[in-house]
Amino acid sequence: MRTILVTGGYGFIGSNFIRYLFRQKGFKGRVVNLDKLTYAANPDSLKEVTAKFKARCTSVKCDICDHELVDKLFKKYRFDCVVHFAAESHVDRSIYGPKDFVETNIHGTFSLLEAARAAWADRKDVRFHHISTDEVYGSLGRTGKFKETTPYDPRSPYSASKAASDHLVMAYHHTYGLPVTISNCSNNYGPYQFPEKLLPVVLINAIEGKPLPIYGDGKNVRDWLYVEDHCSAIWRVINKGRPGRTYNVGGDGEMTNLELVKGICDALEKLVPSSENKALKGKRYADLITFVKDRPGHDRRYAIDYSRLRRELGWQPSVGLAEGLCRTVAWYLSNWQWVTLVRSGEYRKWEEKNYGGRGKTAARAGGRGRRNAR
């Protein structure tokens, strides 16, 4: 894989994946990150890797729904592989504003597929890898796990848009022979996650002595996967997975939300005891737990059966939930400046400074593209 297009590389998992790639001794290729720089993007997350591998790691501001620009970039960079992370990813936002989800997750994926089909024709030495979610399978009862053969049953606008994109990706394989793979994974956690998802919301609120919001009764179950394990699974599928095949990725980390939040509180008590944190005003972290109104259509339980990935490609997760939680809490504590920047709107200012505002994407690839490339 010589030139890899990563979409959404300024996001949580995309940036972890790019850092993971450049840590692999055998990786000699080049990465081009296409990112629209939405609220969830964070250029700082790639600062170090971009500085260290200047010649091999480039970012371009690009909305994947912009067919013309995506086509031009395929021609300019001659990608051998696409790793497609870019998406609107937050379920709550999809409930209150589904439009962007339909645009980016469905139309954006379509635009990439079309560009890949045009650029690659009958090439078989290429790969289009699509990152999807276990949420496409719906909600489980007390028992059972999602397998790759579980029928799709998405419940939220987010998961419905991801399901639609999965179907499009597979359709391009069956219809046009595009060499695609898909991975459907469970809830990721780890460094650089945007503070809207459960884990960073709770962690940051706890440090600041604010309520820790738990939806409903807190008994919804998620299967937590450390983000670096997800990255290693994706790389394994790209290199060893069979075109036209789907692989589930899980962390053996089933836990109720209430248990997880208590686990974060325990990890914090060890690292920054509540007795030494003035914001707590004499309370313990767990005292901040607050049950709030439930999410509409809240899926009850997710659990992943990743035996296909283990059996066929020899992958399994390496970081247990207790260890992963400690690492994540420690990362946020020692990267508080990142948290402050992400929450302060500094990135909008950064965007203004570097790109002259959202409307001005005239400096495009193929033309005067320099202002877009970092």
* Active site members: 134-135, 158
Structure tokens at 133: 């979610």
119 binds, among ligand DAU, ligand NAD, none (CB under 5 to 8 A by kind): none
- Alpha-helical (H) ranges within 272-370 are 307-313, 321-334, 336-344, 346-355
Residue 247, CA distances (Å) to 6, 82, 207 in order: 19, 17, 37
Q: Does 173 bind ligand NAD (CB under 6 A)?
A: no
8 binds, among ligand DAU, ligand NAD, none (CB under 5 to 8 A by kind): ligand NAD
Least distance in Å: CB of 367 to ligand NAD? 19
Q: Does 214 bind ligand DAU (CB under 6 A)?
A: yes
Residue 282 has a CB neighbour count (10 Å cut-off) of 8
Which of 296/357 has CB closer to ligand DAU? 296
Which of 15/274 has CB closer to ligand NAD? 15
Binding window for ligand NAD (CB under 6 A); candidates: 57-65, 91-99, 138-146, 325-333: 57-65
Structure tokens at 88: 């609107």
Which of 58/133 has CB closer to ligand DAU? 133
Amino acid, res. 7: T
What backbone phi and psi angles, to 5 degrees, belong to 353?
-65, -40
Question: CA-based Rg of the chain, rounded to a whole angstrom?
Answer: 20
Least distance in Å: CB of 261 to ligand NAD? 16
DSSP 203-265: HHHHHTT--EEEETTS--EEE-EEHHHHHHHHHHHHHHPPTTEEEEE--S-EEEHHHHHHHHH
40 binds, among ligand DAU, ligand NAD, none (CB under 5 to 8 A by kind): ligand NAD
Q: Does 134 bind ligand DAU (CB under 6 A)?
A: yes
Q: Does 364 bind ligand NAD (CB under 6 A)?
A: no
Q: Does 38 bind ligand NAD (CB under 6 A)?
A: yes
Are β-strands 221-223 and 254-256 bridged in parallel, bridged antiparallel, or unpaired? antiparallel
Q: Does 299 bind ligand NAD (CB under 6 A)?
A: no
State the Cα–Cα distance between residues 35 and 55, nearest whole angstrom.
18
Amino acid, res. 371: R
Residue ranges in contact with ligand DAU by CB under 6 A: 89-91, 133-135, 186-187, 197-198, 201, 213-215, 220, 222, 257, 295, 302
Residues of the shown chain interacting with ligand NAD in the complex, contacts defined by CB under 6 A: 7-8, 10-14, 34-38, 40-41, 63-65, 85-89, 104, 108, 131, 133, 162, 185, 187-188, 194
